Amino acid sequence: MNLYPLKFEPLYKYRIWGGNKLKSVLNKNYTEENIGESWEISDVEGEETIVLNGDLKGFTLKELIQKFKGDFIGNNVYKHFGEDFPLLIKFIDAKTPLSIQVHPSNELAKERHNSFGKNEMWYIMQADENAELIAGFNKKVDKKTYLNHLKNSTVVDVLNVEKVKKGDTFYIPTGRVHAIGAGVLLAEIQQTSDITYRIYDYDRIDAKTGKKRELHNELAIDVIDYDVYDNYKTLYSTKKNISNTLVHAPYFKTNIIFLEGVLDKDYTKTDSFIIYICVDGELEITCKNDMYSLKKGETILIPASIKTVQLNSKAATILEVSL
């Protein structure tokens, strides 16, 4: 069996805050209510996505890595991560706000949960009028002040709130307190981890359990970065038909391509798989004389052994992700 561009069967996740935009905006196919997340490419244990197309249909990421090793994920990636696929790709639809939360670093996540940390980034695909999110603090606080705010349910007062619109991008390193607000649909790229410390959840009751969701403030307190930063939003170039740098972090590299017409991509110098996430429009990908379509809300993985592809579209916006 040879490697080729791979699509995966998404996993749909009920969330207390989930809406219906994954279906109405991204044409996802499910029947449940309150679906908040579509896990597009996942190697989280027990939550593995499987290949949807071609001869390798039904394979999980782990099985693909076991079979193809560096040809699938890149030799250096294989050397570093072995059979663990390092990234988790999602679409998220927040009908109501997510809990205010924070993620632990690689070191703490390894020590406490035998997991990767959870550095992540968000690309806003659609936002209702006046939609917003939380990223970091709006003033410097110490642990004592923070704990007082937590006790009095006023923690939102010291957090940085950003109005958002389509195209806005945020990098959320571990330690940064954050929350997606109501009315936001986004693409999320993150390390393979499902470790979240919930700080504040607006005293909501989960209709499925009849209870409030668990908070993790004792775990979170030593994880939080209490510093204030000048800018939480990522600025980027919007030139057409090139890979514009979006977020280049130690854990993943994401570029954005504004595609019009034909673009030949050469990955000869890239020792990594490539993931394309279509966040607007649609395109065709030609690879070894075969053609693959990619529409808004779809994701495809180009194995590391494939070094040239051709992209073609009247107009599409794509996130290009690698390690």
Neighbouring C-alpha atoms within 13 Å toward the C-beta of 89: 27
Given 15, 198, 204, 213, the catalytic residue: 198
CA 308 and chain centroid, separation: 25
- Strand 35-41 and strand 47-48: the pairing is unpaired
CA torsion sign for 237, 238, 243, 249 is positive
- Strand 244-248 and strand 100-102: the pairing is unpaired
Report whether 248 belongs to an annotated binding site: no
Nearest to 174 by CA among 235, 124, 238, 103: 103
Report whether 320 belongs to an annotated binding site: no
Nearest to 278 by CA among 261, 295, 292, 293: 295
Per DSSP, what are the bridge partners of residue 299?
A: 277
Amino acid identity at 215: L
Burial 30-56 (b: 16+ CB within 10 A, else e): eeeebbbbbbbbbbbeeebbbbeebeb
- Strand 205-206 and strand 211-212: the pairing is antiparallel
Nearest to 199 by CA among 146, 162, 133: 146
Per DSSP, what are the bridge partners of residue 88?
A: 190
Nearest to 56 by CA among 113, 3, 121, 98: 3
Cα–Cα distances (Å) from 247 to 120, 127, 323, in that order, read 10, 20, 11
Report whether 103 belongs to an annotated binding site: yes
Is-catalytic flag, 198? yes
Q: DSSP letter at 215? A: P
Phi then psi for residue 302, to 5 deg, are -100, 115
Just list the catalytic residues. Answer: 198
Which residues participate in the annotated binding site for Zn(2+)? 103, 120, 178
Which residues participate in the annotated binding site? 103, 120, 178
